[in-house]
Structure 1
Amino acid sequence: MKFLRTVLMASAVGLAATPALAQEKVIWWDFLAGGDGVRMKALIDRFNEEHPDIQITGTTLEWGVPYYTKVRTAAAVGQGPDIMTYHLSRMPLGLSEGVLSEITEEDLQNAGLSRDDFFPRAIEAASGEDGKLYAVPFDIHSIILYYNKSYLEGSEFLDENGNLTGIDSLEDFERALALAKENGSSAPVSYSTGDDGGVYRVFFTLLKQQGGDLIRDGEVLPGDSLGKAATAIEIMTRWTENGWQPEQAEYEASVALFTSGKAAFHLNGVWEVPTMVDLEKEGKLGFEWGAVQVPKLMEQQATWADSHAFAIPQQTGKEMSPEKRKAVMTVIGWMEKNAIDWADAGHIPAYKPVAESDAFASKEPNATYSSLAETAAYDPRSLIAGVASPVYDAAINIISPAIHGYMEPMQAAEQIKSDLESKQR
């Protein structure tokens, strides 16, 4: 008995002498709300469960200008996070503000990643003019074309499997819109015509499909891009005049037009795929739907796109320790390799091993429209472009009134040029 007490006491002393597991705390900021927020929180929880030595403390801030303002001001006083989500379209502004830390080759190695693991267009958007990497792309999200099969039944626009086909030009698409109207659709193509994001993304897609540039080498609508911008606005105006698109539709209303069965087509981001999937599972959709990459309507295939990415802020007076930086890169590497769960939000993983996996190939309609990763058209490299920027202001203040008949297309294009050029001074 005495021997047993001695052994137990020795064991207790030994346990007490064992140091607690060293734990690296990683402060995380994101702007992800709704379904995106739910999925990201689930990924963070899983990471924390699997990594007792690294724990993420996450905070979600308001999307848009408030988020990026907070990042800038916090980094300036050394109070920013260790890792943050970032839109690649905001990279030029972030670099000009000096808030982005370079992601080195050593960093990528610590994450178990390499540049070749990602789609080239995403890596290009995540890099500075100096060729250095300043963020790690997490996804590619773009607008896509949703469609309601009921308005196209028995037509040339559905194949034998009920999939959209036969739209290889603007003329084809407009014939499909006319058919949908004949078949009772009150909004043959729905998008948020009264919202900056919806208007800008459709306009930018039509501009890029003509080979036009919104901003190139600091010049707004250079050369023949002015006329191509006018053509894009003219097309959107015609859709209004023919009664094919809703007037002054806010974002939620534009989605409701499609989910309620009134719209035959819907131009919106991949992020609405979960809405359609959930409504279908609940038996609340009332029709068969599909989604494809925005077809080649003009001279070349291109679609507005952006990426959520991971970045490390460059903080004034606060040097990140090598141990903390390695922990941050471990987080990034794990997120990339588990991005199949993020794909449930409709996004295309930027990390090719996941995007090209059998697991992703089985996800529909994601796999159908994933080809857009090769033709994604990111915003121009400019301090006045990107989410919540002056180009979005121009969309709601100039393009939206024009497509509703308050301004001639060329007049609107010239005003965009003048307005954005004044913002660059």
Structure 2
Amino acid sequence: MKKFLSVAMLSSVALLAIGAAQAKETVVWWDFLGGGDGVRMKALIERFNAEHADTIEIQGTTLEWGTPFYSKVQTSAAVGEGPDVMTYHLSRIPLGVESGALAEINPDDLASVGLTADKFATSNWEAAQVDGKQYAVPFDIHSIILYYNKDKLAEAGLLGEDGKPIGLDGVDNFTAALEKLKPGSEYAVSLQTSGDGTPWRVFYSLFNQQDGVFLSDDGTFLPDDSIPKAVKAVETMANWVEQGYAPAQTEYENSVALFTSGAAALHINGVWEVPTMTDLAAKGELGFEWGAVMLPTFFDHPATWADSHSFAIPNNAGKEQTPEKKAAVLEVISWMNKNSLAWADAGHIPAYTPVRESEEFKTMEPNATYSILADTAVFDPRSTLAGVASPVYDAVANYISPAVNGELEPQEAIEEMKADLQDQAD
């Protein structure tokens, strides 16, 4: 009898051990994050796994950024082979929903882990929705900002006592500032002037500062009363190149190099280049003091293009998540947002308001200085034709960039862009 009891007890212990092992959930994770973003995200995943060693393990995979990533998600979800959670640009949400690649996320489930609308900037939270339904949770706000060489601005009388630029708001004032900076630099301002990325982001910012409508509620691209505003935005950018303030036909990497080498006094680019500047400065390879601020207000009011890295759940065909898996995924999304101060180190603005308003973030520079743009950020049009690596980006490369470089008249560029996008939409 004693032997029987001993065997029974050992069997119970073994079963408990097996149950405990099975209780640990594995969360399959996909992202598209390379460079400094990738390094920081891998560090966050390692921290998460260490803190949840007995309950949840993230198994992360990094795939190629852009179209390859989104194509992979769509095809994998269609056959039930997608991950449990993934990073996703908010600008791609409409296409992801239309293609059936994204699962709706229940607001009650999000609320259970402290993720509610009041914890995010309104425009950011709503950019994760389609028809009022939630399909993602924002993780950051990344936008374009103005990088500046403090030494060159001081020489031109454009640096305030607080070390920040002065006299840059308004098209005329900005042009006057570029004229003052021109003698001391090869270029007054560097930015990508070929292709689609920065040209779209700058155009969309200037356009929205005039309350331009890129896509109306009835599906019309660039309605007639917004065309003059679009033309004015392109004319402003084209003037920088025509006057020699900015380089013509310049690729992204070269635009960065012009600033970091000291050849340009100003640089317009995304917040994601903050680590580049920080790292070069730390190595003593920058050669000047730098700073970064929100993009100037050229027209009627502040507005800056923005997108967000977010977390989404693929709509894996025939593979509904178990309650345990769903709980683990929600914990991953919640933990990442609540620990996003480390992600801000990559230049991003935390989407989660409690982190963005924390004392720790308020002392993080230059992020804290330009973080006010979270309240005036304008996200891409809510269209399946818009977003990263989309037909809208293609149209920018085909029409706006040539106009910026003097190869097309701005009016003609906007009219052709409108016709192209409308043809694809109809």
Q: Name the TM-score, length of structure 2 as normaliser.
A: 0.94
The answer on whether the counterparts of 1:94 and 1:100 sit within 8 Å (CA) in structure 2 is yes
AA paired with 1:65? Answer: T
Gaps of 5+ in 2: 1-6
Shift of 1:320: 0.9
Shift of 1:166: 2.2
* Number of the residue aligned with 1:421: 422
Structure 1: 4+ residue segments shifted above 4 A = 9-18
**Separation of aligned partners in 2, 1:73 and 1:18:** 39
Shift of 1:14: 8.2
* Number of the residue aligned with 2:91: 89
Shift of 1:39: 0.6
* Number of the residue aligned with 1:225: 226
Quick check: 1:197 aligned with 2:197?
A: yes
Shift of 1:11: 11
The answer on whether the counterparts of 1:193 and 1:246 sit within 8 Å (CA) in structure 2 is yes
Segment drifting more, 17-26 vs 90-99: 17-26
Quick check: 1:113 aligned with 2:115?
A: yes
**Separation of aligned partners in 2, 1:306 and 1:214:** 16
Aligned-partner SS, 1:345:
coil
Segment drifting more, 216-225 vs 341-350: 216-225
* Number of the residue aligned with 2:4: none
The answer on whether the counterparts of 2:90 and 2:307 sit within 8 Å (CA) in structure 1 is yes
**Separation of aligned partners in 2, 1:109 and 1:125:** 18
Shift of 1:156: 4.2
AA paired with 2:107? Answer: E
AA paired with 1:84? Answer: M
* Number of the residue aligned with 1:75: 77
The answer on whether the counterparts of 2:213 and 2:222 sit within 8 Å (CA) in structure 1 is yes
* Number of the residue aligned with 1:102: 104
**Separation of aligned partners in 1, 2:154 and 2:181:** 10
- Cα deviation code 1:97-144 (max 9, x no counterpart): 122212212321332322211111111101112x12111000000000
The answer on whether the counterparts of 2:105 and 2:136 sit within 8 Å (CA) in structure 1 is yes
AA paired with 2:179? Answer: A
**Separation of aligned partners in 1, 2:106 and 2:9:** 46
AA paired with 1:135? Answer: A
- Cα deviation code 1:179-210 (max 9, x no counterpart): 1102x211111111113101111111111111
AA paired with 1:19? Answer: A
Across the aligned residues of Structure 1 and Structure 2, the Cα RMSD in angstroms comes to: 1.7
**Separation of aligned partners in 2, 1:153 and 1:55:** 51
Aligned-partner SS, 2:76:
helix
The answer on whether the counterparts of 2:238 and 2:406 sit within 8 Å (CA) in structure 1 is yes
AA paired with 1:173? Answer: F
* Number of the residue aligned with 1:3: none
Shift of 1:311: 0.6
The answer on whether the counterparts of 2:40 and 2:346 sit within 8 Å (CA) in structure 1 is yes
Shift of 1:229: 1.1
**Separation of aligned partners in 1, 2:191 and 2:9:** 68
AA paired with 1:305? Answer: A
**Separation of aligned partners in 1, 2:282 and 2:123:** 34
Aligned length: 416
* Number of the residue aligned with 1:19: 17
Shift of 1:86: 0.6
Quick check: 1:240 aligned with 2:241?
A: yes
The answer on whether the counterparts of 1:24 and 1:54 sit within 8 Å (CA) in structure 2 is yes
C-alpha distance 154-259 of structure 1, shift in aligned 2 (>3 A): closer
Aligned-partner SS, 2:248:
coil
**Separation of aligned partners in 1, 2:162 and 2:377:** 27
Aligned residues with identical type, % of pairs: 58
**Separation of aligned partners in 2, 1:122 and 1:16:** 49
The answer on whether the counterparts of 1:110 and 1:326 sit within 8 Å (CA) in structure 2 is no
* Number of the residue aligned with 2:396: 395
